[in-house]
Structure 1
C-alpha cells in the first residue's frame, strides 16, 4: 500500500463485517478507472485529473486493507487457504496497479518531464477526458443521469463521480448529479465543450497537440501508447479469467505480458536514441517512468490471473461476484472453414447474427491488433478476445468452429 499523500493523515481502518464479493467488484472497477485516469492525465497534461488519481489511490488502499482483513477471517483451514490464494492475488495485483498509476500521475504533478510528442499521440490514444465541478446554478444539478439523457444527447459519458471522499463508480441512470460533485466526463471534444460549460459554468479549453520532428521519439511514444493499451487489456482479461475461472483468458494475459516486456525493450532503445537529437534530453525522463509503470501494470495483471493458470479451484465468493453479471469475456480461435473465416469486423463487431464485441485479435504471424479496424478480415488461426452475453458467447464459439 502506498504512503498517504501530502500532509493528510492516513485513514483509520478497523475490521468490520463486509461483503468480500462487493469489495472485489469495487477493486476491479477502481483498478480500471485508475488506469484510464492516470494515462489521460499524462496525455492531456492535466494536473486536476492527476490529483483525482491520487484521491482514488487512497480509496484503493482502504479497499485492500478491508479485503485482507476479511480474507484472513475467512481462512479456517489449509483447504480454505488454498481456495483463497487466487483472491489474494486479486488484492495484491490491485495494489500494484494502484501504485503504478500513482507513479504515472506523479509524472504530471511533479513535472518529471515529458516530450511534446506525447501530446501528439492523443488523437489515437483516448477520447477526451475532463474533470468538471458541478456549479450550484448548473441545469444538471439535482437531476438524474436518466433525466439529463447526457450520452444520447451529447455522446458524453459520466464515467465516475467523487462526492467529498466517496466515489460513485459506473454511475447508472438513477444516479443524481449534485452541486459540488466532481464528475469525470469522457467523449469527443465537441460534446465535452458543451457539457463542461453547462455543468461547471466555465469554458473548456482543449489541450494543444504539437508535432514532433524526432523520428525515434515518435516511435517511442507510439510504443508507450501501445503498451498502455495492451496492459489495459491484460487487466481486463485477468479479472475475467479469475471471475469466470477461464484458463484460456489467463494464458492470453501471459501472452500480453510477454508482448509488453518486448515492447518496453524496444521503447527504451528508441528513447535513448532520441535523446541524442532532443533539444532537452531531460524532458524524456517522464517517458522512462511511463515505460516502467506500464510494465508494472501488465505484471500485476499476470499476478491476478496466476491462480487460474495454476488451476487452483475458484473460491465460492468469486462465483457470487460472477452471478451478478450476464456479460462475459471469451477467447475463441477461428478455425479453417468456419463461418467466421473471411468475415469482416465493423467497429469490432463481426458481420454475423451474433452480437459480440471483439476487443482484440491476436494473429500468430503479426501479433496483437486492438479495437480492430472496420476493414479487418478474420482469417483461420486468428485468436479473438470478445465480450458479450453468455448466450451470445456460446453461439460465437460455434461460429468459430468448423
Structure 2
C-alpha cells in the first residue's frame, strides 16, 4: 500500500467515524431535548430551573455549561474545520464551492428574514444571527434514520456545509457578540496564542502542553470579554495536523490533531452536547397561547430556519447546477437535495447558543427558544418526509461530482 493510499484510508476512516458519531449523537440529542421539555413542564420544573442558576464558585451551573463545557465543543469544531480544509472534504476549491456557496446562502437569507420581522425593534435586531446556524448532529441524526435511502455523497455534502456554517457562526460570535474588552487579558491571550503557534511549529509530540496552555487561554479569553468558548477554536487551529518528521512511521500514522479529534468525538457527541441541550432546551409552556408563536422574534427565528435555510441553500444549489458551475452530489437527486436543505433548518445547538449570547432578558430568550424548537421541528419533519419518499439519481451520465 502506498503512502497516499494509507493517507486516504485514514481520511475516509475519520470521516466515517465523524458521520457515525454525529448521527448517533444527534439521536441522543433529540431524546435529551424532549426530556428537557418534559422536565420543564413537570412538577419538578422549579428544581430544574433553580439548579441551573445555582452558583458553583464564580459562575452558575448554566454558565459553567455554556462558557466552559461548550469550549470543548468549540475545540472539536475547530479541529474539524482545520482537518477538512487542509486534509479532507474541503481541501480543494472544487470541493468547497458547492457546500461553501450553499452555506453562505443558508446564513444570509435566514438573517434577512429575521431582520424583516424585527426591523422596528433595535434591541431585537441583536438576534439576527440566531437562525443562520445549522445543527450538524441533529441533521445527521435525521439522515441516519433513513439509512441507505440517502446516498453517502449527500451526507458528506451536509457535513461539509454544516462545518462551513460552523466556521461562519464562530466568526459571527467573535465579531458581533463581544462587549467590554479587557485589553490586558486580551494581550495575555495573544501571548499564549503565540506560544501555542510556536509549539505547533516545533511539532510537539505530546498533547499535554497544548491542553495546559489551552486552559490558560480559556481563562484569559473569559476575562477579556470575548466569549470564552472561542478559546477552543483558537487552540484547535494551533494543533499540528502534519506528522512529526524523523520518528518511526508506526508512531506517526496519526497526527496530534487527528488524535485529539478522535479522543473528543464521543465525549462531545454523547456528554457535552446532551448536557448543553438538557440545560437550554427546557421551555415552560405555562401560559403559552397562539400569540406566543406570533411574536416578531419567534417568527423571525422560526421562519428564518424553515424558509430562510431552504431558500438560501436550495436556491444557491439549484442556480449553480442550472448554470453549470457545479453538479449535485454523486447519485443525489434534486428532490433529495431539497430534503437536505430542509434538514439544515434544524438549528438547535448553535442557534440556542447564539440566542443566549444575543439576549440577557429571560422573556426574549423564551421567544428565541420557541422559534428554534418550532422551526427545527418543522424543518426536520419536512426534510425527513421528502427524503423518505425521494429516489436517488441513477448514474446514467458522467457528472462532475464535487463530493
TM-score (norm 2): 0.26
Bigger fraction of residues in strand: 1
Q: Which has the higher helix share?
A: 2
Higher relative contact order (CA 8 A, sep 6+): 2
